[in-house]
Amino acid sequence: MRTARRLSIVAMGALLGLGLVGTAQASTSVSPQTREDTLSAMHGEAFAYASYNAYAQEAARTGIDALAKLFRKTAHTERYDHFAAEARLIHFVRGNADNLRTSIAGETREATVIYPYFAYQAEQDRCEPAAKLFRELAADEAVHAKRFRRALYAITHPHSGVVVPVGEYFRPKPIFASLPACRGRTRENLLATIRGEAFANASYTSYAEKARQTGQPRLARLWENTASQELGEHFAEAAELYGLVRDNKANLLKSMKGELHEATVMYPTYAQRAEQAGDDEAADLFFEIAVDEAHHACDFLLASLEIVVPSTPSDHAGMRS
């Protein structure tokens, strides 16, 4: 009954366009399945944030400012409402040293296993631009791991004289509409790359907030600068080879499909599993986010109709923003 009631609330919320996320409190602990589902959802949210900002660039470039605004606004919700609430739920951000240890492990794996393997695979698939990019990413991730190791030493040995490195800020590269440059496994690997880079960006910007709150401004800058490279360079370059951005209509349709899946399948499934595991706060959060995703799907549907049949001659003025 409870589940049926919640689902009807989701349906009503979708109709009314309610956005309720941000009200759920963090629980002390959740079941392993709920944690796994939450991490999976966070990957989706981080990827949506990065993708929608890329789609916003295409909308702005083609002069549809209202659509650019809609993509940017939705991107903000994915990152600063959904991702942030899910991160709080599972205490994703821990102490500075633990955040560094987690990131060192991830960067080292990318530098020594994942990207070298992707480069090898791209050579097998005869996609040299991807092979070159994966080799460059492996080298960059090795630098990230090295800086994080030094930062960890500096904060755990405060009297050593070692200072936290800050790295350098990367101005975001523009992402242009493109067709896929590679086929087969390499195309799948490029998708895994952009999802991973988007997640790294969202994670590191979250870690930066923690570092700043705990009086570590140099560490905050290191996280922010590294995050700027993950998104502004790594995500951008892999996205172009993957063919992430197409024309506005295709970008909208793909986004609407993703939102519908999240609203009607993914989040309701996660919510039901969380409820069965006794993770009520997680279940509430997932149901609330499902409502938001239904709202996003509606917004994108309206926006795509505006592109096909503009309601007024003036620059898609009827589009929600």
Q: What is the 3-state secondary structure (H, E, C) of 21-79?
A: CCCCCCCCCCCHHHHHHHHHHHHHHHHHHHHHHHHHHHHHHCCCHHHHHHHHHHHHHHH
Q: Residue 296 CB, nearest distance to Fe ion (Å)?
A: 4
* 296 binds Fe ion, rule: CB under 5 A: yes
* 299 binds Fe ion, rule: CB under 5 A: no
Q: In whole angstroms, give the CA distance from residue 241 to residue 156.
A: 40
Helix (H, G, I), strand (E, B) or coil at 95: coil
> Of the two residues 144 and 187, which places its CB atom closer to Fe ion in the complex?
144
Q: In whole angstroms, give the CA distance from residue 49 to residue 116.
A: 27
Q: Residue 122 CB, nearest distance to Fe ion (Å)?
A: 16
> Of the two residues 221 and 296, which places its CB atom closer to Fe ion in the complex?
296
Among 279, 293, 299, 306, binds Fe ion (CB under 5 A): 293
**Residue numbers 127-146 binding Fe ion by CB under 5 A:** 141, 144
Q: Residue 5 CB, nearest distance to Fe ion (Å)?
A: 23
Q: Please report the DSSP string for 188-231 in residue order.
A: HHHHHHHHHHHHHHHHHHHHHHHHHHTT-HHHHHHHHHHHHHII
**Residue numbers 49-78 binding Fe ion by CB under 5 A:** 78
Q: For the window 159-188, what string marks contact with Fe ion as x by the rule CB under 5 A?
A: ------------------------------
Among 6, 195, 221, 234, binds Fe ion (CB under 5 A): 234
Q: How many residues bind Fe ion (CB under 5 A)?
A: 12
Only one of the segments 157-165, 197-205, 275-283, 308-316 lies at the binding site for Fe ion (rule: CB under 5 A); that segment is: 197-205
End-to-end CA distance of the chain: 36
Question: Residue type for 40, please?
Answer: S
Instruction: Give the footprint of Fe ion on this chain (CB under 5 A).
Output: 45, 78, 82, 107, 141, 144, 197, 230, 234, 259, 293, 296
